[in-house]
């Protein structure tokens, strides 16, 4: 197996693991955040607007983790810095 094919294989596997972890973690976090917000709204209906606003800010922060994982996987697949190193070392 050449080093170029090994880099390609490692990049695809790492991108898959990154997406898997990047989807599972935020999904669990968002579910727990929504459940807690609904519980808080049920206990204090007068504070619904404040809780909802805080919930959406928190959900955006949680979702940014999934977006970062997506960006890392796209870099590994399409703009991998190791490709240039391996190709220059092969020549």
Domain boundaries, the chain: 3-83
pLDDT in tens, 31-59: 999 999 999 999 999 999 999 999 999 99
Name the CATH architecture for the domain at 3-83: Up-down Bundle (1.20)
CA distance 91 to 87: 7
* Helices then strands, each counted (H, E), the chain: 3, 0
pLDDT mean across residues, the chain: 89
Q: How many CB atoms lie within 10 A of CB 26?
A: 21
Confidence band, pLDDT 50/70/90 cuts, at residue 87: confident
Contact 41, 48 (CB under 8 A): yes
Q: What is the 3-state secondary structure (H, E, C) of 69-81?
A: HHHHHHHHHHCCH
Q: How many CB atoms lie within 10 A of CB 69?
A: 20
């Amino acid at each position: 197996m050449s080093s170029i094919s090994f880099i390609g294989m490692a990049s695809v596997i790492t991108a898959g693991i990154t997406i898997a972890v990047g989807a599972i973690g935020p999904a669990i976090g968002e579910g727990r955040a929504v459940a807690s917000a609904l519980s808080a709204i049920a206990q204090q209906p007068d504070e619904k607007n404040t809780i909802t606003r805080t919930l959406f800010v928190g959900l955006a922060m949680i979702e940014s983790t999934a977006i970062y994982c997506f960006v890392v996987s796209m870099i590994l697949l399409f703009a991998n810095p190791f490709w240039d190193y391996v190709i220059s070392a092969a020549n």
